Structure 1
Amino acid sequence: MFTALMHWMQANDVLPRISDTERQALEAGNVWVDGQFFSGKPDFAAMLDARYGRLSAEEQAFMDGPVEELLSRADCNEIALTRRVPDHIIEFMAEAGFFGLIIPRAYGGKEFSTLARSAIMAKVTPHSGILSAYVVIPNTLGAAELLVEYGTEAQQDHYLPRLARGEYLPCFGLTEPTAGSDAASLTADAEAFRDADDEIRLRLNFRKRYITLGPVANLISLACRLRDPDNLLGQGEAPGITVVLIHGGTPGLIQGDRHEPIGEAFPNGPLMGEDVVVSADNILGGRDQAGGGWRMLMESLAGGRMVSLPATAVGGIRTVAAATGAYSMVRQQFGLPIGRMEGVATPIGRLNALAYMTEGARVFGCTAVDDGINPPVVSGVMKAYTTELARQSATDAMDVFSGAGVMQGPNNIIGRGYCSAPVAITVEGANIMTRTLMVFGQGAIRCHPHALDVVHAVENDDARAFSKGMRGWIGHFLANLGRTVGHGLTRGAFVRVPDVDAATKRYYRKLGWAASRFALFTDLALFFVGGRLKMRGNLTGRYADALAWMLMGFSTLRRFEAEGRPREDRVLVDYALRLSLAKVQEAFEGIYENFDGPLGKLLRGVFLPILRVNRLARLPDDRMAMAAAAVSQRIDAQSARLNADIFMPENPDSGVGRLFDAFHRVADTAPIVERIKAEQKAGELPAGEPDALAQAAREAGVIEADEAERLSAARGARLAAIEVDVFSESDFFARAVAPSEASRRDAA
């Protein structure tokens, strides 16, 4: 019976076909907690046993020392206006070791953990996206990481010390006009040949774009498609995708032109090569790695997407949440801080919960990479969903800051981040492709307990392996069918929950209930959509949403447990889990509404109404939003803990420093303001803004002289913090390009 079924599946493309490049992607990295959700019966005890890391003493000292000093030295407004990082800042970064965070100590690097590199990126990026590029690129996917993992001993000895010292500034040349998210389709060409000196060399022709640090780098790791007509390298006539090291200044290499990224114009531009000739020894990993580039990229990206972009996104969310809460208490309208208004508090509550949730996911995911786990599906989720949440958070912050957010200048602390948000959405695989193709497309095969074995059996025409795999798969399907019905009737009451905080047990039960349905519907998609899944991006995107929000929800719970279940954090946990589960519910409704064929009609006509009545959760309510907002609207031990490792300059003349100086002063004088308000209600003091009545209150004996001074100073700081930048006519037009100059640039 199973043999006939296998032949029928082969003939009808029931299961997705896997190309050679897709197979290497599937085989790269590891299945992690994502596999628990695909199983339909997550073992929460085992998942909670997964380590939740902390920075070492050395790493924390680097965060508190060199990182703080770097950001204090670097004038983010000057960098943004000039579009350059000053030489003295680059020199400081080299001396302090910023270019060697990923490089082993034996070669002069810091050899920091993935978690530490992520934390450094998260702290630097909100201050300056341009400066961030000089931290992110040398310490993530590129020359250093690839050389550490795959380089020959000679390559490591030569390049790694020089990279650590900043003598080489690297970039990675992958994206092309016709190869973006579909990196396997790249056309950059390299041909092996023997020169007049009988040396084997490579002749490269390529056209790359969107290359961060491309205009300023002097060491390029170039992904190309290698041809070897005479099999000089011993890997066949078409070895395939290969990574080649090219030095700046090599004849035929064209670099220096720039793209202009939206928001902050970090160094980014095209790389072109016309008959660029390098030694065959420039193949990263040596000649034996000819054709090994795709595997290198997939293995590096399997964990790499967990690092840079999630770090920059989460750092942005956390900084924006802290700043927006502070601004909402400094800015007053109608006689009270705007943060006390429900309409304003709602987005602030959402910001605070997202900051808590995404930071938990960042730490949890980076810890897995440090433990030798490179989960490509979770990495894809982290890249796509944290960057999208960062974009949404920037919009929420802009709504609260309002006029102070839309007027540009040195004191606008959210404008550049708001404008730059789409950049992270597009790089390292556009989010729309990651969501609709990669996350579920890869996860459904790789993370499923039986699917990959069955696919291999069908491809290999192995009837015995197919029979074994299908028996296991059918048992898996029936078990999840029973679990889904049972959990639906009991609302997850019988999901096994380990020893966790009593108030959070209901969330584990709902996640277990959601996981059983997710696993069941994964099987239905593979059975009934099968080989057409690649074409059903909207449907697979909804599956990706369900998986992503289950992972985000669990990461929140993991953080809460790891940090000792702080009672005051419960409001953030409650908000984050309500939001996560409501998003999972929304994803399931989308799956039910858009499934194909007779099953789809049954789901829409019969089961969708039941799904909507017996829902996992509803979105957080107004009371929960107000309570979550309060976390960033006060200065206490909790806010200090949650804002740890966010850069808050001490200079009260800077935008961020000015805001937090005012916030502290306003919080400090709040009891004085309340006393004045009480006297106003009693008719002892005139109407008006309480902090404007310092002198009158002192004369009436309501407050002491020193309190009046503090209150006046707080008012001055408050008014300064809500002020926007003003430019004289000459300064304003000095910031623009004269029409004649623009014409000359266009002509050039």
Structure 2
Amino acid sequence: MFATLLKKINDAKLLPKISDTERHALEAGSVWIDGEFFSGNPDFRAIMAEAYPGLSEEEQAFLDGPVEELLHRVDGWKLRETRRIPDDIWQFLRDKGFFGMIIPKEYGGSGFSVLARSAVMTKTSGLGPVGTLIVIPNTLGAAELLLEYGTQAQKDKYLPGLASGEYVPCFGLTEPTAGSDAASIKAEGIVFKDEDGEAKIRLNFSKRYITLAPIANIVSLACSLHDPDNILGKGEFPGITVVMLEKGMPGLELGDHHLPIGAFDNGPIYGTDVVAPVENIIGGVGGAGQGWRMLMEQLGGGRAVSLPASGVALAKTSAAAVGPYSIVREQFGIPIGLMEGVEAKIARIAALTYTLESARVYVCAGVDSGNHPPVISAILKQQTTEIGQQLITDGMDVMAGAGVMQGPNNILGGGYVGAPVSITVEGANILTRTLMIFGQGAVRCHPFALDTLNAVQADDVPAFRKAILGWTGHSVKNFFRGIVRGITRGWSVRTPVNDETAQYFRKLGWASTRFAFLTDLAMFLIGGKLKQRGKISGRFSDALSWMLFGVTTLRRFQAEGSRKEDLPIVHWALRYSLHQVQLAFEGIYANFDVPVLGWILRYPGRFWLKINPLSSGPRDSMDRAVAASIQAPGEQYQRVAGGMGTPRDDEPGMGRLLNAWRLVSAAQQPTLKVRKALHKKQIKAASLSEAIDPALEAGVITQDEATQIRKAEAARLDAIQVDTFSSEDYYKDEVSDNIEEPPLARAANQ
């Protein structure tokens, strides 16, 4: 029976074929808590037992010392205008060890944890090209690949120079015809023997979008290796290989710039008959053909670091600015943050910032614990960069004119302009969401799918029997479990807590059961066509993503002592997360286009979903308490929006805003006395500033209170001003004509 079924599955192509590159991707990294959601019955006690640590004393000292000093040293506006990193900043980065955070101490680095590197990248994300200069040496690239796969000779040669900043690295992967589909790169390396009989590689390539390429002096180049004489003993086409190249090699062209939004160093790399010894292959001859595996394994954890840091930085910057601005800025005689429409935006910013930070810490800690979860990392990359962009846009909406007028005092503009960069790199978010997260997760994280696929491709009947019986039992359990949990709204789910957050564990368990059963239906009934069904795969990805955010938010709340004052944020965030899962399920039910079952899901199924929802989202009445969390100075503001530096009071932008906010907040009580006197017509004045003297004369306030209000009002007025420019500064009459098209030889190589 099973042999016949196996034959029918192969003949009908019900399951997708797995190419070699896809297999490398599937086998790279590890399954982590994502497997719990695919099980349909997550072990929340184990999920809550995962580490949620802080930084070590050394790491925190680095953040509080050199990183904080760097923030004060860099003139962000001037940097955006000139696009050139000053020499003294370069030297400061070298002296303080910014280039070697990923490198162990024995090679001259700091050996910082993933969590610490992520924290530094978050804090420096707003520094434009300086932030980028910190990210690239400490994430996927030369140092990380060498540490994991390099020979001892390669580590000894390159790691000390990378740690000191002597070597500035870039990673040559993307080409005109190979972006997210990196496996299709055309850069070619041909193995040959020179006149002395030494094995070497002749490389020809055209790369683009390479961050730091214009200022780099060492390149990790991904190429397709061709060994026609089998010199390396790995066949004629060993596969994708990573080769180290140094600036100055004949035929290697570096130095030209692209001009990305956000203005950081990025440009093309060209190579014409560049010759490198085979010893430059990362991992030596043994690393030939292993490049794709290397990249997939490192991306499994690497996607959790730099780009999520940038997304979290956008969220935190928005929260840190918008909360104070909404109190400092007044319209119609009240702070704009007390208006319900504005309040709703601020609540969303505060709650989702809290959520994104919880996911950043949880996942980075997981990578530090030895996990390399490619699905979880992909979720973190895609969702944090998307949500970060949404929140910076919300912040622009609240700050209105102050958000769109450029200059040294604009707090959000730089992040708003640069936000799309993180969405497009390391796999465009559209493809990450619609192809990678669920496409990889459904096979890799499912308890039986990969075993079944392997058995089908190997035509192994005993293995197939074992896998398919296990899968069938898994589906039947989740079918009946889903009925029970749907009727009881999750009350049969075991929760690790007995407080008021237990309801969310129940609903997440209920959601996981439905998710797992729908996954089985999709794999059984849509099968190999799931690769092309990106819209429905994207909805599965959304459901998985927001279940992850739900548990990481709960883990943070627990790890930070279950503070009562944070409960409004947690309630808002969990209701929002569950509502996103609900919307994803509704979309799956509406678009599950298979005979009979599709109709059942589309009509009676969706009706049941709507009358028995996981969540209808946060209620309007919840916004006030959540918005207030970032509208008053104190510990709660720091927990939500902290980690982005402490500007001096006289620094433009955030410095003068926070100074005004503190003064306005401190003067709240005497200001309220004056406003009440105006309302009761005890005094007459056209504005608060004009009412100070009459209120003082009427005994409404004391002299000290009058002084306090005056200082607050002066600071308020200063904080809401925007930059102005003279005609000479505004107009830039000279525009460079020195923009060259790639030469024909380069075009042909593309």
Alignment of 1:371-390 (within 5 A): 371-390=369-388
Q: Does 1:588 align with 2:585?
A: yes
Change (3 A) 1:553 1:747: closer
Superposed CA deviations along residues 347-394 of structure 1, whole A, max 9, x for unmatched, are 110000011000000000000000000000000000000000011011
SS at 2:289 equivalent: coil
Q: Report the more deviating stretch, 452-461 or 630-639.
A: 630-639
* Alignment gaps of 5+ in structure 2: 743-750
Partner of 1:609: 607
SS at 1:84 equivalent: coil
1:621 positional shift: 1.7
Partner of 2:233: 234
Partner of 2:107: 107
Alignment of 1:290-305 (within 5 A): 290-305=288-303
- Whether the aligned pair in 2 keeps the contact of 1:673 and 1:691 (CA below 8 Å) is no
Superposed CA deviations along residues 386-409 of structure 1, whole A, max 9, x for unmatched, are 000011011101100100111111
1:654 positional shift: 1.1
Question: In structure 2, which of residues 517, 533, 537 is the aligned counterpart of residue 536 of structure 1?
Answer: 533
- Whether the aligned pair in 1 keeps the contact of 2:176 and 2:207 (CA below 8 Å) is yes
SS at 2:231 equivalent: coil
- Whether the aligned pair in 2 keeps the contact of 1:105 and 1:111 (CA below 8 Å) is yes
Partner of 1:166: 165
1:693 maps to amino acid: A
Q: Report the more deviating stretch, 104-113 or 619-628.
A: 619-628
1:692 positional shift: 4.1
Superposed CA deviations along residues 122-171 of structure 1, whole A, max 9, x for unmatched, are 00002x12211011000000000111111111110110001000000001
Alignment of 1:197-212 (within 5 A): 197-212=196-211
CA distance, structure 2, for counterparts of residue 659 and residue 338 of structure 1: 15
TM-score scaled to structure 2, two decimals?
A: 0.97
CA distance, structure 2, for counterparts of residue 211 and residue 591 of structure 1: 38
Question: In structure 2, which of residues 697, 715, 722 is the aligned counterpart of residue 717 of structure 1?
Answer: 715
- Whether the aligned pair in 2 keeps the contact of 1:317 and 1:355 (CA below 8 Å) is yes
Alignment of 1:313-392 (within 5 A): 313-392=311-390
Q: Report the more deviating stretch, 695-704 or 461-470.
A: 695-704
Partner of 1:742: 736
Partner of 1:558: 555
CA distance, structure 1, for counterparts of residue 689 and residue 309 of structure 2: 40
1:745 positional shift: 5.1
Q: Does 1:597 align with 2:594?
A: yes
1:636 positional shift: 2.1
CA distance, structure 1, for counterparts of residue 619 and residue 650 of structure 2: 37
CA distance, structure 1, for counterparts of residue 381 and residue 469 of structure 2: 36
- Whether the aligned pair in 1 keeps the contact of 2:353 and 2:641 (CA below 8 Å) is no
Q: Report the more deviating stretch, 693-702 or 50-59.
A: 693-702
1:747 positional shift: 9.8
Partner of 1:156: 155
CA distance, structure 1, for counterparts of residue 738 and residue 519 of structure 2: 58
Partner of 1:634: 632
1:557 positional shift: 0.4
SS at 1:242 equivalent: strand
Question: In structure 2, which of residues 443, 448, 457 is the aligned counterpart of residue 450 of structure 1?
Answer: 448
Aligned length: 741
Partner of 1:422: 420
Partner of 2:510: 513
1:84 positional shift: 1.2
Partner of 2:573: 576
- Whether the aligned pair in 2 keeps the contact of 1:437 and 1:537 (CA below 8 Å) is yes
Alignment of 1:398-413 (within 5 A): 398-413=396-411
Partner of 2:748: none
SS at 1:224 equivalent: strand
Partner of 2:5: 5
- Whether the aligned pair in 2 keeps the contact of 1:631 and 1:639 (CA below 8 Å) is yes
- Whether the aligned pair in 2 keeps the contact of 1:549 and 1:583 (CA below 8 Å) is yes
1:197 positional shift: 2.1
TM-score scaled to structure 1, two decimals?
A: 0.98
1:744 positional shift: 5.5
1:687 positional shift: 4.1
Partner of 1:218: 217
Superposed CA deviations along residues 594-617 of structure 1, whole A, max 9, x for unmatched, are 112222112112211111111110
* Alignment gaps of 5+ in structure 1: none
Partner of 2:15: 15
CA distance, structure 2, for counterparts of residue 374 and residue 746 of structure 1: 42
- Whether the aligned pair in 2 keeps the contact of 1:123 and 1:315 (CA below 8 Å) is yes
Superposed CA deviations along residues 306-343 of structure 1, whole A, max 9, x for unmatched, are 00000111122012112111111110000000000000
Alignment of 1:425-440 (within 5 A): 425-440=423-438
Question: Over aligned residue pairs, what C-alpha RMSD do you find?
Answer: 1.2
Superposed CA deviations along residues 194-229 of structure 1, whole A, max 9, x for unmatched, are 111221111111111111101111010011100111
CA distance, structure 1, for counterparts of residue 635 and residue 309 of structure 2: 24
Which runs of at least 4 in structure 1 moved beyond 6 Å after TM superposition?
none
1:493 positional shift: 1.1
CA distance, structure 1, for counterparts of residue 393 and residue 712 of structure 2: 29
2:147 maps to amino acid: V
Partner of 1:704: 702
- Whether the aligned pair in 2 keeps the contact of 1:692 and 1:712 (CA below 8 Å) is no
Partner of 1:136: 135
- Whether the aligned pair in 1 keeps the contact of 2:382 and 2:429 (CA below 8 Å) is yes
CA distance, structure 1, for counterparts of residue 53 and residue 85 of structure 2: 32
2:73 maps to amino acid: R
Change (3 A) 1:745 1:524: closer
Superposed CA deviations along residues 238-277 of structure 1, whole A, max 9, x for unmatched, are 1110000011121111121111111x20001111111111
2:728 maps to amino acid: S
- Whether the aligned pair in 1 keeps the contact of 2:630 and 2:636 (CA below 8 Å) is no
Partner of 1:65: 65
1:700 positional shift: 2.4
2:61 maps to amino acid: A
SS at 2:299 equivalent: helix
1:641 positional shift: 3.4
- Whether the aligned pair in 1 keeps the contact of 2:145 and 2:294 (CA below 8 Å) is yes
Change (3 A) 1:223 1:709: same
1:682 positional shift: 2.5
SS at 1:648 equivalent: coil
1:653 positional shift: 3.6
2:46 maps to amino acid: A
- Whether the aligned pair in 1 keeps the contact of 2:382 and 2:432 (CA below 8 Å) is yes
Question: In structure 2, which of residues 646, 661, 680 is the aligned counterpart of residue 648 of structure 1?
Answer: 646
State the identity %: 55
Change (3 A) 1:698 1:431: same
1:530 positional shift: 0.4
Partner of 1:32: 32
Change (3 A) 1:298 1:687: same
